[in-house]
Amino acid sequence: MKIVFEKMIVGRWKLVMLTLVFAFRFSLITSYAQVGEYRTDFALGVNGGYVMSNVSFVTKVPQGLLGGLTGGLTARYTCEKYFHSICAVVAEVNYAQIGWKEKILTMDDKPVPLHTDETQSLRYSRKMTYVQVPLLARMGWGRERNGFQGFFQIGPQIGFYMKDEVDANFDVRQPAFDPGRDYPREQNPEYQYYGKRASQVVAQDTMTVKNKFDYGIAVGAGMEYSHRHLGHFLIEGRYYYGLGNIYGDSKRDYFGRSNFGNIVIKCTYLFDIVRTKNTKIK
């Protein structure tokens, strides 16, 4: 098991380093080694959307996707058109509501009734507020000033934990809901859900976030409509894979992994601050 986790950690660092190298070399090439059509376009704007998230726990915790809002500021510097590819660097500072929503089910994949009120089913979700800062290398194909453009972007993202809130109809700290950390070696006689819950993993429900700095890889694609006088309107789908863990992951810790996965649908509006003076740009 130790060797497996060591390989996973090494693999994660290789992935983040490759992405950082790609983004860094992309920015250097497009900024200093202009081999295509030169650009100095700079645009600012706002973005907003909906994010669906979960946390990949090892030991596994059954989950659905937790919905939340995201929004913030966007800056884009377009530096070159290389053949048909429009090269740019995008930076954002976003507020995001992410976390996880548990699927508390029986062995038959049915909701588990609350033992004190069987008209209710056990529910638990935790929504965390983060400030996320992605830095993305962007490639676009299509019109720049008037018309449509498709784009793809990828790069590193960091995040800073701010706060969290729990939505649950039970308190796992109460003996009736806690099988105990030593389960199944030792059983809590007051626990009410032996044989009722398919998963007895509940440690995550009471743990506080240990690592408040998050980092990972973001990748997205979308469409942009540009109008010479009105600005740029974008819609994008994006996926974020966290490389850091929110909880400790040493031998003494309960979870070997606890990293975020986010699916984001967002819209962005950008207006030009600096625009390349070239009447041939369409």
Domain of 40 in residue numbering reads as 2-274
- What percent of the chain stands above pLDDT 90? 69
The one-character DSSP state at 68 is E
The answer to the question of residue 169 being in a domain is yes
3-state helix, strand, coil in the chain (%, to 5): 15, 55, 30
The answer to the question of residue 211 being in a domain is yes
For residue 248, which of 3, 5, 63 has the smallest C-alpha distance? Answer: 5
Q: How confident is the model at residue 80 (pLDDT cuts 50, 70, 90)?
A: confident
Top-ranked range on mean pLDDT: pick from 118-132, 135-149, 186-200: 118-132
Average of per-residue pLDDT across 149-165: 97
The one-character DSSP state at 105 is B
**CA dist 188 to 174, 179, 193, 255, Å?**
11, 6, 10, 21
The answer to the question of residue 279 being in a domain is no
What are the structure tokens assigned to 159, written together?
Answer: 């995040």
Distance, CA of 218 to CA of 257 (rounded, Å): 19
pTM listed for this prediction: 0.84
What are the structure tokens assigned to 71, written together?
Answer: 């929004």
CB hemisphere CA count around 271 (13 angstroms): 4
Q: Is the bond preceding 156 in cis, omega lying within 30 degrees of 0?
A: no
Q: What is the pLDDT of residue 30?
A: 45
Average of per-residue pLDDT across 90-110: 97
Residue type, 78: T
Question: In this predicted structure, which of 55-64, 81-90, 155-164, 248-257 has the lowest mean pLDDT?
Answer: 81-90
The answer to the question of residue 280 being in a domain is no
The answer to the question of residue 106 being in a domain is yes
The answer to the question of residue 12 being in a domain is yes
Number of domains in the chain: 1
Helices (H) and strands (E) in the chain, counts: 1, 11
Which CATH number covers residue 141? Answer: 2.40.160.20
Phi and psi dihedrals of 173, rounded to 5? -70, -20
